[in-house]
Amino acid sequence: MLYAIVGRDGPEGVSRRREVRPAHLARVRELVAAGRIVVAGPLPAVDAPDPGPAGFHGSLIVGEFESLQAAREWIAADPYVTAGVFESVDVHPFVQVFP
């Protein structure tokens, strides 16, 4: 089943993202290679594809996992969580209607 993972950046999110982004992307690429990602990316803090110093206020990942628990465990081990980029994370079942 698909799950939507929404991580919300904490106050140090901008600087911590830069530090751990390569490790985070490596984990997401594993899911991409397995055909398990529908969409993934950051949520800019301003209305622009490159928010510059405004940074991001979080990230969205919609991916396939065996269960809600598996999705929660996967994100709990992600560098954006373990290094404190995300202040909070929500994981919800997701039903894709489009495309």
pLDDT band at 73 (very low <50, low <70, confident <90, very high): very high
Residue 42 CB contacts under 8 Å (≥ 6 apart), including other chains = 17, 56, 58, 59
Listed by start position, the domains of the chain span 2-94
Domain 2-94 matching CATH 3.40.50.1000: the answer reads: no
pLDDT tens digit sequence for 1-42: 999 999 999 998 888 999 999 999 999 999 999 999 999 999
pTM for this prediction: 0.95
